[in-house]
Homo-oligomer: A and B are copies of this chain.
Amino acid sequence: MPAEAPVTDRRKPTIADVAAKAGVSVGTVSNVMANAARVRPETRRRVESAIAALGYRPNRVAQSLSRQRTHLVGALVPEVTNPFFAELVQGIERSLSAAQYSVVFATSHEDVELQRRYIEDFHGRRVDGVVLVVAADTEVEEMIAIAADTPVTVVDRVLDGWDADHVTGDSAAGMELAVGHLAQLGHRRFALINGEAKISTARERESTFIRAVAELGGEGEISRGSFTLDSGFAQAEALLGRDDPPTAIIAGNDLIGIATITVAAQRGISVPDELSVIGYDDVPYARLMAPALTTVRAFPETLGIEAARLLLDRLDGHHHDGRHVRIAPELVVRRSTGPARGGGLGGGRG
């Protein structure tokens, strides 16, 4: 080898290097990469072998700047340690990466200030779009302003007054399923242990709970906290520590339901003989409880997939007005619900 051989050049090859090696211009290289028709087969071959020889990979940063499109989307969820959101994120990531988008990912921990910072970061990076699970105390006005001129798809929760694309679970239907199931088992005294009242899913479940119980002529009480195991423990503890707990507890999500079953066990309350418990979401751990948790399946991964689809549609220019897709929930009967103590009208487990 010649003495002039440069020390190993660690710089990644650029389109200019390829052009030089192939003896063509950068424009031509760009054309073959774009698969443009207007390039002679012979030339194409030369360029392609130069690309292969150099191991050339286009610089996406430069591409983004030039094309004014990053093929990047921001995903912001409250937590990733919550299995519901983990599945949601999985759905988002799968769909987006299948469509050749990369996702820059962040968690807000229900903190609006953090949420604001992340969204600004997304903007700074010129993401093509954002998939967002709004944090609990989010102000509509701020969101509308912040999300201006970047396509946003809102998922799981909704923000009143913001007509962004969104996909949600049908919490009203889900809650009706839950109350209906319990009613059929003869229950008349219910409690709902819920998450943050600021969150739309919690509100929808709550109002439906109230209405459904009223229509039934039953009694219903409501406890509010947050959608976490810890809050579930505290709330269940308070509820089950009382003299006359209800015969059926509906949990605002499975974490709360799981905590409730655990508290009942600790207190020697037999589920489902003395107390029926039903959760919401159907996370993987619901069926592993003893007894296995009856719950309303919410299909979190599907939510994520649909959210990604909506966003991609918009990025492709297919749609322009605020769309709303609603995912229908399903009742999953397991072992944590049973006939109300003292009989009642209801049939057995069928």
Contact = CB atoms under 8 A, between A and B. Distances in A.
A72 B64 CA distance: 15
A262 B288 contact: yes
Interface in A69-110: 70, 72, 75, 79-81, 83, 86-87, 89-90, 93, 97, 102-107
A26 B57 CA distance: 32
Nearest to A102: B104
Given A58-B124, A288-B289, A86 B81 contact: yes
Interface in A233-285: 258-259, 262, 265, 284-285
A229 interface: yes
B102 A284 contact: no
A10 interface: yes
A93 B105 contact: yes
Interface string A293-319: 000000000000000000000000000
A345 interface: no
A120 interface: yes
A125 interface: yes
B104 A103 contact: yes
B107 A104 contact: no
Nearest to A300: B81
B72 A124 contact: no
A102 B130 CA distance: 14
A289 B93 CA distance: 30
B10 A149 contact: yes
A83 B97 CA distance: 22
B107 A93 contact: yes
A56 to B, nearest CB: 11
Contacts of A49: none
B121 A102 contact: yes
A290 interface: yes
A217 to B, nearest CB: 35
B93 A86 contact: no
Contact of A59 (B93, B121, B126): B126
A62 interface: yes
A177 to B, nearest CB: 24
B61 A258 contact: no
Contacts of A103: 104-106
A107 B81 contact: no
B60 A125 contact: yes
A80 B87 CA distance: 8
Nearest to A229: B284
Contacts of A62: 65
Contacts of A87: 81
Contacts of A262: 288, 290
Given A81-B90, A124-B57, A104 B72 contact: yes
Given A58-B124, A86-B86, A104-B104, 8 more contacts: A59-B65, A60-B125, A61-B64, A80-B93, A93-B106, A97-B106, A103-B106, A289-B290
23 contacts: A57-B123, A58-B124, A59-B65, A59-B124, A61-B64, A72-B125, A79-B90, A81-B83, A81-B284, A93-B105, A102-B104, A102-B121, A103-B104, A103-B105, A104-B104, A105-B105, A229-B284, A229-B288, A258-B285, A265-B290, A285-B288, A288-B289, A290-B290
